[in-house]
Amino acid sequence: MSWFFIALIGPFLYALTNYIDKILLEKYFKESGIGTILLFSSLISMFALPIFLIIDNTVLDVNIINILILALKGTLGVGVLWFYLMALKNEEASVVIVFYQLVPVFGAILGYFFLGEILTKMQVISMAIIILGTMIISFEIDSDNHFRLRKKNTIIPMIGASLFWATGGVIFKSVALKENLWRSLFWEHVMLVLVGIIIFIFVRSYRNSFILALKNNSKNILSLNIINEFIYISGNVAVAYAYLLAPIGLVLLTESFQPIFVLIIGVILTALFPKIITEKMQAKHLWQKVIAISITALGTYLLLFYK
């Protein structure tokens, strides 16, 4: 199978998890849902650890420096999830995900400041195009066809999520090339579990909400969260494997398909299950999303392929 199709599995699976997260937030976790999902996602990662150990029994043979680096990657992963859930709680999934197109922009900026990479004129133009696309989706169209800036708890968290994602991607590849895929994934998920345990112990409100959710809707919540985490980890494996088959820039480009998948899935779910998921389907809203996605995708393509 071509690396492109392997890489494409990731954004498609991520798009599915976006809507499962939305269902969990709106149906089961209306109060303190962010902390509850964060704990579920972190703690459920422990079930992936024995799988990685079975696949590669040398996962423990990693030097301490690389373990610390991967620990940072795991911590950043928790940060991405927290920022993303903050935004998703207040906004449509098809809007939130467009902001992830800022990931390669932040990747280029980080490379400039920390790796001494040179930004060409075309790259700067490409970054400006991507920012233009996110600016378009940063405004919502009200019933009177007026544009107004979306809530700051949508825009600011997604900027943070994109920055953390870009940083984590660079860190992961730097270690995965020295070690291997399964060792890197193992230690990343070890850190996710440790962060979950720390949050459970020290953040009382999150702990109480987590325990209450288990008591009230344990069967449905556990089923959805386990399915959600399995889908998400499968996406991570596909993307991580693609990182080792192709340049990181090419793999990051395929992640620009995620907003497209999210929009398509949102339209289908709204049409078939309006009581579960409701995206704004008026022509003006669809056109805004399509234009924003197209512009950011164009900017991402130019940024990665035209130096």
pLDDT in tens, 174-217: 666 566 677 777 888 888 899 889 989 998 888 888 888 777 76
CA distances from 147 to 54, 96, 137, 142, 157 (A): 54, 17, 10, 7, 21
Question: What is the value of pTM for the model shown?
Answer: 0.82
**Cα 52 to the center of its chain, rounded Å:** 21
Residue 31 has pLDDT above 70, yes or no: no
pLDDT of residue 164: 92
pLDDT of residue 231: 92
Band the pLDDT of 7: cuts 50, 70, 90: confident
Residue 1 has pLDDT above 80, yes or no: no
Q: Give ∠ CA 195-240-63 in degrees, rounded to 5.
A: 60
Contact 306, 122 (CB under 8 A): yes
**Reduced to 3 states, what is the DSSP secondary structure of residue 139?**
strand
| Residue 297, number of CB atoms within 10 A of its CB | 20
Residue 249 has pLDDT above 80, yes or no: no
**More confidently predicted of 272 and 170:** 272
